[in-house]
Structure 1
Amino acid sequence: MRSTQAEESQTPRSLRIPEWNTEEDGAWVAPQIDNPAYKGEWKPRRVNDPNPELSDFEGWCWPGTSLYPDFTDPAMREYWGSQFALDKYTGTNGDTYIWNDMNEPSVFNGPEVTMPRDAVHPNGMVEHRDVHNMYGYYVHRATFEGLAKRTAGDRPFVLTRSFFIGSHKYSAIWTGDNYAQWSHLKASIAMVGALTLGGQSLVGADVGGFFKHPDAEMTVRWQSASSV
């Protein structure tokens, strides 16, 4: 549910983290809801700010000010996966498929539109520069392993934007937002081909583009290319 202005004013900024609005089928992300998980088992497993005067790294993404779990910590990944249990992820069933987006991680106000290189991961006390390429991999692996516990041996379907060596075992990959223009159709063919040569077995691009509107010919050509 959406939070009111009164609720927002009473909620400390450090406790405002994203939560899905199940009343709207998960389509609305509300950044101003106090989540008790923040104050409990999640708290020791977040990425720390490089500034010693601050504790938690805060960055901006679609929900607004956000905190970032330390997915290099096996305990954090176990906790993340547990949130997909049927008794916790209410309203879902065996036909539940997860899309892990923005998991590079994407940080809109970051120096490189991602987490600062000197942000500290408490697990092993390593800087983000040393684990950046594995962050997204750990996100979709934890998601896959959590979903796998819900089914009787059925393979979960997870879609990710960020990936690393070994990602093919846990997730399909798509190449991110593109435009409805011929140059992006051409580029997507090269990108998908390169990814498959690199061992990523299930990859794709937004057919027809994510931004702008394709004309009839581009739609047909892109659909044809995607079926090859």
Structure 2
Amino acid sequence: MPKKQTYADLGDACATAHAMDVIGDRWSMVIARELMLGPRRFAELASAVVGITPAVLTARLRALQDSGVVEQVDGPGRTAYRLTEWGQGLEHVMSALGRWAQQSPGFPVPEGRMTPDGAIVAMRTMAPYATITDWSEGPIRLAIELHDERRPAAAVRRYRLRWDQDRFALTEGADDDPATTVSGDSSAWAEVVFGGAPVDDMSVEGDRRAVERVAAAYGSLGKPA
């Protein structure tokens, strides 16, 4: 197979054109999204990136490594992939693309669903536009536990949300002593947060009001791509 020409090969020195060479194919940004919160094994990526074949995933990971976006890491009994420091900067790109895509005539995507990491990354990238004006009820401390109903064998993903007047932090990992835990299907959670679906669609333990405040903050944004 002949080598695919890049924009640089064609004489285009534009930085945006170079960016499209790096992440402009069908799969690269989705792979980056699934790596945004931490390292993932090949099998986890193959399961989360819906529709990709193992051969294509292998090729895209190799290309992203060659470009400096992704690196391979070895741990006890596992080999995984993670974003490089430069690759982490794609979160800002995703935020801008998500806001732009919301104005698309084809949005929202009919019958579209979201992976657990996809829903959480969407919350992180849209956080600057989601506001809580009344902090009289105090800061929000929320444990979020999500699974993907399309993939029954996949593990539950756990995340921690810390939100107060001075900080928004949404990270991967279990909360040892959460004030509130919300759990359920990741697409259902995305509908609660971005689509105005009732909180009753999720299982809530603890302060239900914390979940309602998060949903209200995001509610006016619309469901991101």
Q: TM-score range by the shorter chain?
A: under 0.3
Greater strand percent: which structure? Answer: 2
Higher relative contact order (CA 8 A, sep 6+): 2
Q: Scaled by the length of structure 2, what TM-score is found?
A: 0.28
Q: Scaled by the length of structure 1, what TM-score is found?
A: 0.28
Greater helix percent: which structure? Answer: 2
